[in-house]
Amino acid sequence: MKVPLWYADKDKPLPKPSLNKVSVQWCKEFIEEVAHWDAHIVKNNPNRITYGSSNLEDIKYIQAIASLAGYRTQFVKKRIYTAR
């Protein structure tokens, strides 16, 4: 899947095609691609992809696509501590 460069602009929202109009194959390709953007493939388990974002709507959308692609999903909220 070729993704336009402007999709990678972190100030732009994640493109969200309607989930009613996407195929299982499209969902699988999207998850494979997102693994290289804001996610990573777990080194000890290459079948596992970890996605992270501070945008809850993006997280929910990616999780829905992953479910449609046949992946099991899990949501974990982490608190980020900053030095003062």
Tell whether the model's pLDDT for residue 35 goes beyond 60.
yes
22: left (phi over 0), alpha (psi -120 to 50) or beta: beta
Label residue 58 exposed, middle or buried (CB < 10 Å: 0-12, 13-18, 19+).
Answer: middle
Distance CA(19)–CA(39), nearest Å, equals: 21
Give me the count of residues in the chain.
84
DSSP-assigned beta bridge partners for residue 51: 39
pTM to 2 decimal places: 0.71
pLDDT in tens, 56-80: 888 899 999 999 999 988 888 877 7
> What distance in Å separates the CA atoms of residue 62 and residue 52, rounded to the nearest whole number?
10
